[in-house]
């Protein structure tokens, strides 16, 4: 039976995530309202602009519902989605869901014109991993229960804590689908969530 995975579709590159997941025996739901979270097996919070996404989640009355979903079911956040999931955000102390025990610094890899594609070290099978950084955050601290799955420049770039997966880069903009397949495998495994 196909997995039913939602992609928050309020802003950011949600269409690329939907496309990346389509090849993994999934039904994709573009989530724009709280009611669309009900029957999902997992949720992707895409990159974009974290403060804009926070405002939209709040305006659409989705902030608390996405937080509750993140505690109970598998969630994958990329770039701005990683910021939204983080326990603490620097330097602005902006609001977040605070469900992933990491501290992130916004825009740590530079401005838009300093965006880059780099090869990082990855613990997933297949070795090195192409990473697309666009005004990306940097994970400056990870809690003891956070598993580091990939690094670039000595910093974690892909982490997992239970049912939560987060990347500081944009795997949806690469042709390498390992991370999306890994997220689908997380959902299928049925491992315990944060509750």
Domain of 13 in residue numbering reads as 3-100+159-189
Instruction: Scan for tokens 């579709």, then name that residue.
Output: 9
DSSP annotation string for 58-84: HHTT-HHHHHHHHHHS-EEEETHHHHH
Q: 111 a known binding residue?
A: no
Residue 134 marked as a ligand binder: yes
Q: Which two tokens stand for residue 41?
A: 């097996």
The answer to whether residue 30 is domain-embedded is: yes
What is the number of residues in the chain? 195
* Residue 132 domain flag: no
Which sign, positive or negative, has the C-alpha torsion 161, 88, 143, 174? positive
110 domain residue, yes or no: no
Is 184:24 a contact under the CB 8 Å cutoff? yes
Strand partners, 26: 3
Percent of the chain at pLDDT above 90? Answer: 72
Residue 151 annotated as lining a ligand binding site: no
DSSP state string for 108-120: TT--GGG-EEEEE
What backbone torsions phi and psi does residue 184 show, to the nearest 5 degrees?
-60, -40
The pLDDT of 145-149, averaged and rounded, is 97
pLDDT bucket at 195, cuts 50 / 70 / 90? very low
**Claim: this prediction has a pTM higher than 0.75:** yes
Dist. CA 113–CA 55, nearest whole Å: 25
Q: Please give the residue that has the higher pLDDT: either 195 or 10.
A: 10
**Positions marked active-site:** 79, 170, 172
Which one is predicted more confidently, 66 or 48?
66
Q: Strands 155-161 and 147-152: what pairing?
A: antiparallel
58-72 mean pLDDT: 95
pLDDT tens, residue by residue, 80-133: 999 999 999 998 778 899 999 999 998 766 665 566 788 888 888 888 999 999
pLDDT of residue 111: 61
The tally of domains found in the chain comes to 1
Residue 137 counted as domain residue: no
- The answer to whether residue 145 sits within a structural domain is no
> At residue 179, does pLDDT exceed 50?
yes
Q: Does the annotation list 45 as a binding residue?
A: no
Q: Answer yes or no: are the C-beta atoms of 31 and 9 closer than 8 Å.
A: yes
Q: Is residue 41 part of a domain?
A: yes
- Give pLDDT tens digits for 3-22: 999 999 999 889 999 999 98
CATH of residue 67: 3.40.50.880
Specify if 37 maps to a domain: yes
40 in a structural domain: yes
């Amino acid at each position: 039976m196909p997995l039913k995975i939602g992609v928050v579709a309020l802003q950011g590159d949600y269409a690329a995530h939907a496309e990346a997941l389509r090849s993994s025996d999934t039904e994709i739901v573009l989530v724009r309202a709280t009611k669309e979270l009900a029957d999902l097996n997992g949720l992707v919070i895409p990159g974009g602009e974290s403060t804009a996404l926070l405002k939209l989640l709040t305006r659409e009355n989705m902030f608390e519902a996405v937080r509750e979903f993140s505690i109970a079911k598998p969630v994958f956040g990329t770039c701005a989605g990683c910021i939204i999931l983080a326990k603490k955000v620097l330097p602005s102390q902006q609001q977040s869901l605070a469900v992933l025990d990491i501290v992130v610094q916004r825009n740590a890899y530079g401005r838009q014109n300093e965006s880059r594609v780099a090869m990082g070290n990855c613990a997933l099978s297949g070795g090195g991993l192409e990473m697309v950084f666009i005004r990306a955050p940097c994970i400056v601290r990870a809690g003891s229960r956070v598993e580091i799955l990939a690094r670039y420049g000595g910093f974690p770039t892909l982490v997992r804590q239970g049912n939560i997966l987060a990347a500081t880069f944009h795997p949806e903009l690469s042709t390498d689908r390992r991370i999306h397949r890994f997220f689908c495998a997380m959902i299928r495994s049925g491992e315990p969530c944060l509750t």
